[in-house]
Amino acid sequence: MTNAETIAKLNEALEKLIVAYEQLQNSYDQLQDEHNTLENENEKLNSENNKLKDKISALEAETRNLEDNLNNLQDSSEKDSSNINSMLSKIEGLLSKKAHPEKHNYDEDTSKARETIQEVIVDKKTDSPSINTTNSSENDGKDDNKESSSNNGSSSEKIDLNRMASLLNGFNN
């Protein structure tokens, strides 16, 4: 081998080394770019992850607040319903107390009214025969007039009795 052949082989080897070095440099640059891109994406993902963690924390805090509000509302609604129930029971108690004495008072009022009506009826009955006997002894010719007047008197008694009965019915209602 001569010097020229050795130089030629060394030149070929050097050219191959230069090409390989350029390829290596290009792949290194590509890897560096990919590395930078991946780092940027990693930072973005970490940033999004932190934002999501913050949202989760905010949502958990809001959930706790809503649960507290719900518990407060349930407590207040339970208190309100118990207050309403106690008020209703008091009202029912008052109404039942009033209903029974009023009924009793109506019964007493009706019995008093009946006694009064019976007394009035008895008084009218006792008064009417004495009037009729005195009238019949005075004038026999006026009997026809007296009978018609006594019929009118009895019809007025019936009206009074009807009035009294309607009053009694009014007390019963």
Measure Cα distances from 27 to 17, 18, 21, 23 in Å. 15, 14, 10, 6
CB atoms within 10 A of CB 149: 14
146: pLDDT strictly greater than 80: no
Per-residue pLDDT, 21: 97
Which structure tokens are listed for 24? 């290596």
In eight-state DSSP terms, residue 140 is S
Q: What average pLDDT does the segment 46-55 reach?
A: 97
Q: Is the pTM of this model over 0.85?
A: no
Residues 6+ apart with CB under 8 A from 110: 168, 171, 172
Estimate to the nearest angstrom the gap between the alpha carbon of 138 and the chain centroid: 83
Q: Which tens digits make up the pLDDT trace of 82-141?
A: 888 888 888 888 888 765 555 545 556 666 767 777 777 777 666 655 444 444 444 444
75: pLDDT strictly greater than 70: yes
Per-residue pLDDT, 131: 44
End-to-end Cα, the chain, rounded Å: 146
Average of per-residue pLDDT values in the chain: 78
- Which amino acid makes up residue 54? D
CA–CA gap between residue 109 and residue 104 (Å, rounded):
9
Per-residue pLDDT, 133: 44
Percentage of the chain with pLDDT > 90?
A: 44
26: pLDDT strictly greater than 90: yes
CA–CA gap between residue 150 and residue 136 (Å, rounded):
11
Residue with token string 């990919």: 34
